[in-house]
A = this chain, B = another copy of it.
Amino acid sequence: MTAVTVWNEYIHEREDDAVAEVYPDGIHETIADALEARGHDTRTATLDEPEHGLTEAVLDDTDVLVWWGHAAHDAVEDHVVDRVVERVYKGMGLLVLHSGHASKPFTRLLGTPCDLTYREGDDRERLWVTDPGHPIVDGLDESIVIDETETYGEPFGIPEPDRLVFTSWFEGGEVFRSGCCYRRGRGKLFYFRPGHETYPIYHREDVQWILDNAVRWATPTEGAAAYGGNRPVDPPES
Is there contact, CB below 8 Å, between B141 and A224?
yes
User: B238 and A172: CB pair below 8 A?
Assistant: yes
Q: Let me know if A100 is at the binding interface, CB within 8 A.
A: no
A residues 133-173 with Cβ under 8 Å of B? Answer: 133-135, 137-143, 145, 151, 153-157, 159-160, 162-164, 167-173
Is B229 in contact with A133, judged by CB distance below 8 angstroms? Answer: no
Is A102 an interface residue when CB atoms closer than 8 A count as contact?
yes
Number of interface residues of A (CB under 8 A): 80
A142-B235 in contact (CB<8A): no
Assuming the contacts A111-B184, A126-B237, A233-B117, asked whether A133 and B175 have C-beta atoms less than 8 A apart, the reply is: no
Q: How far is the CA of A110 from the CA of B107 in the complex (A)?
A: 10
The reply to whether B126 and A89 form a contact with Cβ atoms under 8 Å apart is no
Q: At the interface, yes or no: A91 with Cβ under 8 Å from chain B?
A: yes
The smallest C-beta distance from A149 to any residue of chain B, in angstroms, reads 13
A-B pairs with lowest CB-CB distance, top 3: A172-B235, A133-B186, A173-B237
